[in-house]
Amino acid sequence: MNKSNRPLFIPVVIIAVVACVCIGTLAIAGLGYFLWNVVTPVEQVIVTEEVNEVIEGDIEPSITPNQPDITPIQTPTPDSAITVLPSPTRQATEQPPDASLPAEVANQMDRIEQQVTQIRGLESNDPITRRLLSREQLRQHVIDDFLKDYSENEASEDAISLSALGLLEPDFDLYNFYLDLYTEQIAGFYDDETNEMFIVQGSGFNGPEKLTYAHEFVHALQDIYYGTETGLGCDDDAAEVDSERCAAYQAVLEGDASLVEILWFVDNGTPKDLSEIQEFLNSYEGPVLDSAPAFMREDFLFPYTYGQSFVEYLHDQDGWSSVADVYGNPPVSTEQILHPEKYPNDQPVQIEIPDLTPILGEGWREIDRGVMGEWWTYLILADGLNPQAQIDPAEAQDASAGWGGDAYVVYYNDQEQTTVLVLSSTWDTQQEAGEFSESFAEYANARFGPATEADNGLTSWESPSHFTTFSQDGKNTIWITAPSGEIEKAVRNVIN
């Protein structure tokens, strides 16, 4: 793998078997990983509260398969809510029957597929092999499949890069953390290379497993109709070059499945399913997730929560036909996911950072290069490793809004164990660049200590191991961290 193009954020480059792989964005792409206690609590707590009231007769159901009314969706007419495409993009293939499944489980899966098909308006004649996995079998899948293209050395370099951003300790064991986390959190996934659906089985095929299956079957439909096996131009190689675009694409996949999952449950979930889900949530423990850094927990949620809001915004335009259209013209940035009104016209500005190896000299090598994006700009400000340097989430949100484009690069010196980080950003207006500058100064003062110098728009922070500067020039800002003032100055002369 070419390290000069590998995206910094890989907690999921490791994971996408077919579509998008980007560490910080946790793009779980073609495999729709449904992370219990990451996704489910947020989605199901909302669902279970409303369903509970419906079951008890306190309120009338506000969501039906053909007439969703989850904010911000406004109730469409039945005709506009369902759009059946004329034919799937892939021909049906022969698959072995899932004879290993108990008959009752297979029948329940069949019913869920029919119900999801009705809600989403996509017919499927493509057989899917369905399998139940034990937690031990899942762990072996994680080792053999999900982590096969992600080495421990790459994980170490990612930890170094994340440390430069103030998000992680440099010696954090990312590889084994991901292995433990995915084993703990994954409840089901669809493998679009083999047309196989995997559900991690608990004590049976109950409410939690049914909900998971509804979500994952949407991913199967996405693959059949829209060709997610090829990632719509966002496969592994593309993700290495443009992780920001792939993060946005992943949010579409998960947002689509998450919305359908909720609609399915409200219309088809039983009181018994509800009780089983509530029991699961009340008894579930996730020590690995609980120990995850703050930014990582937030990032796991991104494609599901913000992706669902994005898909709801589209659905409000013209039902499922608007959602279908987005697969032909996917969003290109997390900014568009966070602000659906900016899709599709607000395109990121392309920024180039030259190769700094000639300036840095012998011993330095580039370990990461890519685009940070609005979402990760927010995470840096709001969810850093140092709690004292965490900006108020509302302020961090305002500061990162107005993002217009960026580029980052990270270099590492193995002998001296030091890093150079450059983040060059542009903003929609000079005022928005100023808002980010003010919040960054607050963040940097808490992380690095009081500024040692502020002159002509250039602010400096100095510590025994780092020399950091930040500057604003009109709509543009530059953040540089280097092991010394001399190296920082040499880098800045090239960047400017």
pLDDT at 124: 81
The CA-to-CA distance between both ends of the chain, in Å, stands at 30
In this structure, is residue 308 part of a structural domain?
yes
C-alpha distances out from residue 110 to 128, 132, 253, 383, Å: 11, 15, 22, 42
pLDDT at position 231, please? 54
The residue-averaged pLDDT of 421-436 equals 98
CATH number, domain containing residue 423? 3.40.1000.70
Residues 102, 164 within the same domain? yes
More confident residue, 496 or 93: 496
| Pair 326, 387 in one domain | no
Look at residue 142 in the predicted model and tell me its pLDDT: 87
> Does 238 lie in the same domain as 199?
yes
Number of domains in the chain: 2
Overall average pLDDT of the 174-202 stretch = 87
- As given in the structure block, the two tokens for residue 481 are 């961290």
Task: Assess contact for 168 and 162: CB atoms under 8 A.
Answer: yes
Question: Residue 67 has what DSSP assignment?
Answer: B
Res 77: pLDDT: 26
Residues 336 and 410 occupy one common structural domain: no
User: Among 125-129, 155-159, 167-171, 296-300, where is mean pLDDT lowest?
Assistant: 125-129
- Give pLDDT, residue 199: 87
% the chain with pLDDT above 90: 60
Return the CA Rg of the chain: 23
| Nearest CA among 2, 7, 1 for reference residue 410 | 7
Q: Which of 292, 310, 342 is the last residue of a domain?
A: 342
> Does 332 share its domain with 478?
no
Q: What is the per-residue pLDDT across 300-349, written as a single tens digit (0 to 9) for each?
A: 889 999 999 999 999 999 999 999 999 999 999 999 999 999 999 999 99
Q: Report residue 411: phi and psi, to 5°.
A: -115, 150
Handedness of CA 40, 43, 49, 50 (dihedral sign): negative
The average confidence (pLDDT) of the chain is 80
Q: Say yes or no: 179 and 314 in one domain.
A: yes
DSSP secondary structure of 399-422: HHTTEEEEEEEEEEETTTTEEEEE
Matching residue, tokens 């780092």? 466
Average of per-residue pLDDT across 101-119: 94
Residue 117 binned pLDDT confidence (cut-offs 50, 70, 90): very high
Residue 412, in any domain of the structure: yes
Residues 337 and 434 in one domain: no
| Other C-beta atoms lying within 10 Å of the C-beta of residue 215 | 31
25 assigned to some structural domain: no
Phi, psi for residue 357 in degrees, rounded to 5? -60, -45
Assigned domain for 1 exists: no
Q: Is 143 helix (H, G, I), strand (E, B) or coil?
A: helix
State residue 167's pLDDT score.
97
Domain boundary residue among 342, 377, 399?
Answer: 342
- pLDDT-derived band at 496 (thresholds 50, 70, 90) equals confident
| Residue 323 shares a structural domain with residue 420 | no
Residue 288 Ramachandran class (φ > 0 left, ψ -120 to 50 alpha, else beta): alpha
**287 assigned to some structural domain:** yes
Residue pLDDT, tens place only, 190-245: 888 788 899 887 768 999 999 999 999 999 999 989 887 555 556 555 555 678 98
Q: Is the pLDDT of residue 494 over 80?
A: yes
Same domain, 411 and 482: yes
Over residues 90-110, the mean pLDDT reads 69
Share of the chain above pLDDT 70, in %: 77
Model confidence at 101: pLDDT above 80: yes
Cβ neighbourhood burial of 354 (10 Å; 0-12, 13-18, 19+) = exposed
- Residue 44's H or E segment, with its range, is helix 40-56
Range of the domain at 286: 40-342
Residue 18: predicted pLDDT:
24
Q: What is the pLDDT of residue 213?
A: 93
User: ω into residue 344 within 30 of 0, thus cis?
Assistant: yes
**Do 201 and 324 sit in the same domain of this protein?**
yes
Q: How many residues does the chain have?
A: 496
Q: Does the reported pTM lie above 0.85? A: no
End-of-domain residue from the set 313, 342, 371: 342
Asked if residue 134 and residue 78 are part of one domain, the reply reads yes
Give CA–CA dist 36/175, Å, rounded.
20
Indicate whether 289 belongs to any domain.
yes
Is the predicted pLDDT of residue 16 greater than 70, yes or no? no
Are residues 396 and 272 part of one domain? no
* Residue 416 scores a pLDDT above 60: yes
Q: Is the pLDDT of residue 398 over 50?
A: yes
* Residue 23 in domain: no
CA distance 407 to 432: 18
